[in-house]
Structure formats: C-alpha cells, structure tokens
Structure 1
Amino acid sequence: MIEVLNHLVDEIEANLGDETDVDALAARLGTTGYHARRMFSSLAGMPLSEYVRRRRMTVAASDLIGGDDLLTIAVRYGYGSTEAFGRAFRAVHGTSHGDVRRDGGPLRSQPQLRFRLTVEGSTPMDARITERPAFRLIGHTARVPLIHEGINPHIQAHIASLPIEEHARLKQLSDAEPAGLLQVSADVDPDYTQGSELTYLHGVATTADSDVPADLDAIEVPAGAWAVFRTSGAYPAALQSTWAATATEWFPSNPWRLRPGPSIVAVLDRSEDFSAATTELWLPIERS
C-alpha cells in the first residue's frame, strides 16, 4: 500500500493541471480507488482532493511571483476562470493572488508527500476475520457530519431523541451478528473528509429475510468478509485510536483492503457514564 500511495503522489505531481484518474491508477497497481483514498486520508491526515488543491496552489504561487498571466496560470492548474482560481488560492494561502504578486507572500506551502513504512506494532492488535452471509441493519437513521476526533454531538443528539424503551425494542429485534445495539456509519465520503455528511444508523443486525417494522430504516449488507477489531479503554478515544491504527499498522501488514460498505461499532460493555467501553469495530474487507 505504501508503494501505491507514493505512485499516486508521483502521478499527481506530474499532472497537477489535470484530474488524476485514481480508480484507473489504483487498478493498475493492484488495488481499488476506494481503498487508496481511504488509506491516503488516514495516513496523510487530509483527503486526497485537499492535497491536490494544496499542491496546485503551492506551485501556482511561484508562477504568480514569476509574472505569468493570471488566466494562463488558472487554466494551467485546472481552473476555468480567474475567480475560481482566486477562491482556491485564498483558501490555501489565506491571502489573495494579487497580494502575493505584489508582496511575494505570505504563503502556506504544501510539501510533496512521501509515504514511508516505519516499524510500529509493539502492541498486537486484537483482530479477527469473519465471513458473513448477507444481512440487514435496521434502526433509526440520520444524516450527520463526519468528525474524526472526540464525541460527535450530532450523533449524540440523534440517540438522545429516541425514547428509552426504543433501545430495548431494538435489542429484541437483533437476530444476527454483530449482536446488540450498533453504531453504523454508511455512505461515507471515500476521501473521509472532515465535515462531509454520512448516514448514521442506531440499530441492530438482522438476517436478510427478517421483516422490517414500518417505522424503521434499513441498510442491506451483502455477503462478504469483515475484519473485527476489539478494543477497551476511554470512550471514544480508544476506539478512534484503533480505527487510525487499522490504516497505519494493520492494513499495510495484512493481505486485505477495504471494500465499500458500512462500518459498524458494537458496544460490548460500558461504564455507567460511558466514559469507558469495550467495543468491536467491524470493517468490510476483501483480499488485496
């Protein structure tokens, strides 16, 4: 995976003015665009699209200082107008292209990324692989923004809006793994962009042929393999650390990659105030 990401960075650098076909490049390198985007975002700390924009504006700044025509520069880096280019330039550098042309700065440069494998993993990850038949996730959904760290207040508000007796009712409907009440994230932006919307479902897993009550939402999940990571500790910090470690440690050293599908968190045990918990993180995977 490290080699794939470095090839991707090189391809972007060689074609800053054009759109890189991530799916085609990933396929040539033996993986998928979905997995490449997710791993890039996790390891680089930014979506691939944001990295491309930063690199374009970093190189464009030197062209501005060199005195090239503004429209020529805008078109060179994939923008159809000076206005669109100007908005992108200000978003990256925090100043206008006119100020940079006149004063030479200030500039916020994005260095070219290079991914390297470091020796980690002194603490083994508690993971297992399981093959599951098709199943169904049922419960109450809401569209919420993606938040990488800390508690998501939008999810909290969604769960708090449900009557207490509804949680017990959902538990009774569970008849498939993962067992118990589940926290499900679906329709996630492949770039895993902070603030992008996803579908959150608070509910349970049922068999594919179970009836869905009329007042509940459903997500159909096809058959396939899952990587299941168990973690215990402060909630949600320990869970989020495990999620990050899947990208930095587990996927680079195992013959699996992410496939499209929902990610699922099963809470196995928790403290009364939910400050600590034992959880299982279920990620849909396929052979790489």
Structure 2
Amino acid sequence: MDMLKGMNQALNYIEENLDNTIDLNEVATRAFCSEYQFKRLFAFLSGITISEYIRRRRLTLAALELKDSQVKIIDIALKYGYQSPDAFSRAFQNYHGVTPSVSRKPQQTVKAYPRMTFQLTIQGGNEMNYRIVEKAAFKVVGVKYEVEMVDEILSPTYENMITSISDAKMSELESFSNHEPSGIVHVSANYSESSDGKATFNQYIGAVTTEENDDYSTLEVPALTWAIFEVEGDWLQVEKHWQRIYSEWLPTSSYELIEGGPEILASKDHKSEIWVSIKKK
C-alpha cells in the first residue's frame, strides 16, 4: 500500500506542477524509490515514459485553455514549458493533428489524455518462484540492436530482431553458451529515457559465456546480485510474469533495480528464467 500511495502522490505532484518545472527526482522521492526505478516502473506499467506522459498532459491542458480566445498562444506556450510559439506549435500539431490557432475553431476536434491513477487490484494469489544469487562477471556474445520506444512502439520490434537472425547463426550462438543461464538468451541493458519522451536500450540475442569472441557484439556484465524468477508456459505467461515482477515483487521487496542494469530471459521447452539485476535499497 505504501507503494500505491507513493505512486499516486508522485502523479499528484506532476499534476500540480504541469505549468512549472517538474523535478523527476522529487517525483521518485514521493513514490519511495529511485528515479531510475520510478522511470522503469512507470514505463513498464503504463507503456509510455514519464516524460511522454507529462508532455501529453501539458498538451491536453493547453488545448483546453486555447478555447479561451482572450488568452494569447505565446502565453500558453510559455506556461507549459515551450520557449517559442514555433516549438509549441510543432509539438501541438504533432499530438493533436492541428495547429493551436486551428484548434480554437468551434467544433474542432482535439485529443485529451486523462491523468493517470494507480489502483490496487486483488487477484488470485499466484506464487512466484524466485531465488536471489550473486554471480561473478560474465559476457553476453550475440547480435546487438539499438532499440527505441516511441509512443509505445519498439523500433525494431522483437519479431524483426529475431527473424533477422538465421537458424544457422542462432545455432552458432547457442554453441558459445558455457555459463548460466544456458542456451540462447535475450538481454536488455542500458535503458535510458530522454526529456522528449523517448526510451532507448540495447538488446542482445546471443549466449552467456566466459570466452572471448571477435565475430559478434559483446556485453560485459560485471559481478552482480540477481533475482531469478522461474516461469512455466508460453510467451504470454512470460510477459505476465515480467509485469508481476514490476508491479508486485519489486515494490514490496527490499531490493531495487540497478540503474541501466541488464535483464535476461532464457527460455527452452516452455520453461523460462527471468534474471533481473538488483541491489539492496
């Protein structure tokens, strides 16, 4: 409940300061977690970054205020953090599909992005099987992708990443595996968000090894503490379990995410392990 209360306090702070500078560190403090963990939790649970949420809320309020013909467009632009009418007009048109001046016309349609709230949903008490382990440093050798998330869409998509690797190359990558987690692994690392609402991270599809390899990209993973979750079932079950890690396990545990730390998925024969790098709060 503290986490639920904190997340809503953070959203209240955002709502009260949409016409001011919003300090994301202060937002995270109100949610009782680090700024990095708040960004990851928010993006994972909502599908958009916190910066993009703030942008949409500001443009929603701006559209409402533009209906008052007595208010100057430049005053609304400055109120919501835009340094010039041109910058505001571009952002407004990209979101609403019309310019600020056109939006003032009677019966002109604009978009509205409602404020979010987090609510507690009580569901069946499904157990989560996990273990906390410390692992020495290792390497992930494989194909690397630079992934960008904009408006809830990944580019490239996971499907495109996987299908771009031939069966022969996938078999070669699997042969490099000599360390847990074994077999082909999918690794996300170096997650970050920009002020314009974009999220980026590196995605590796390959194998965990202790050996050097010059033919593929290499991610050096330092010695870390890991929370390792066991999942049985297809990809839909993996997705549900991953969401439970963020929405249920992390907020109530004594651990938090390592900033930019890797997350690993290893699957074979409908049995999977999700590895999340963590540290004590």
Give TM class, smaller chain. Answer: 0.7 to 0.9
Partner of 2:165, secondary structure, is helix
Query: TM-score, normalized by length of structure 2?
Result: 0.84
1:244 matched residue in structure 2: 243
Query: Does 2:185 match 1:152?
Result: no
Query: Does 2:48 match 1:46?
Result: yes
1:1-288 map, 5 Å = 1-27=3-29, 30-66=32-68, 67-103=70-106, 105-145=108-148, 152-160=158-166, 164=168, 166-190=169-193, 197-206=200-209, 210-234=210-234, 236-259=235-258, 260-269=260-269, 277-288=270-281
CA positional deviation for 1:68? 0.7
Letter in 2 for 1:186: A
CA positional deviation for 1:56? 0.5
Gaps of 5+ in 1: 270-276
CA positional deviation for 1:23? 2.9
Query: TM-score, normalized by length of structure 1?
Result: 0.82
CA positional deviation for 1:219? 1.0
User: How far apart, in 2, do the equivalents of 1:135 and 1:175 lie?
Assistant: 10
CA positional deviation for 1:261? 1.2
User: How far apart, in 1, do the equivalents of 2:174 and 2:256 lie?
Assistant: 31
Segment of structure 1 superposing worse, 222-231 or 17-26 = 17-26
Letter in 1 for 2:277: P
CA positional deviation for 1:79? 0.5
User: How far apart, in 2, do the equivalents of 1:241 and 1:5 lie?
Assistant: 21
Evaluate the alpha carbon distance shift between residue 115 and residue 214 of structure 1 in structure 2; reply closer, same or farther with a 3 A threshold: same
Whether the 8 Å contact between 1:137 and 1:219 is mirrored in structure 2 is yes
CA positional deviation for 1:195? 8.2
Partner of 1:188, secondary structure, is strand
User: How far apart, in 2, do the equivalents of 1:190 and 1:179 lie?
Assistant: 30
Whether the 8 Å contact between 2:139 and 2:211 is mirrored in structure 1 is no
CA positional deviation for 1:80? 1.3
Partner of 1:129, secondary structure, is strand
Partner of 2:208, secondary structure, is strand
CA positional deviation for 1:28? 6.8
Evaluate the alpha carbon distance shift between residue 58 and residue 167 of structure 1 in structure 2; reply closer, same or farther with a 3 A threshold: closer
Q: Count residues with an aligned counterpart.
A: 271
CA positional deviation for 1:249? 2.3
Deviations 1:156-215 (Å, cap 9, x if unpaired)?
23322xx61x44443343232212221112233448x99855322222223xxx441221
Whether the 8 Å contact between 2:148 and 2:200 is mirrored in structure 1 is yes
User: How far apart, in 2, do the equivalents of 1:86 and 1:229 lie?
Assistant: 47
Deviations 1:230-259 (Å, cap 9, x if unpaired)?
22323x322222222222222233222222
User: How far apart, in 2, do the equivalents of 1:145 and 1:117 lie?
Assistant: 30
User: How far apart, in 1, do the equivalents of 2:131 and 2:123 lie?
Assistant: 19
Q: What percent of counterpart residues are identical?
A: 32
4+ residue runs of structure 1 moved beyond 6 angstroms?
Answer: none
Deviations 1:128-176 (Å, cap 9, x if unpaired)?
222222222122223345557xx7232123322xx61x44443343232
Whether the 8 Å contact between 1:231 and 1:278 is mirrored in structure 2 is yes
User: How far apart, in 1, do the equivalents of 2:223 and 2:148 lie?
Assistant: 28
Whether the 8 Å contact between 1:144 and 1:154 is mirrored in structure 2 is no
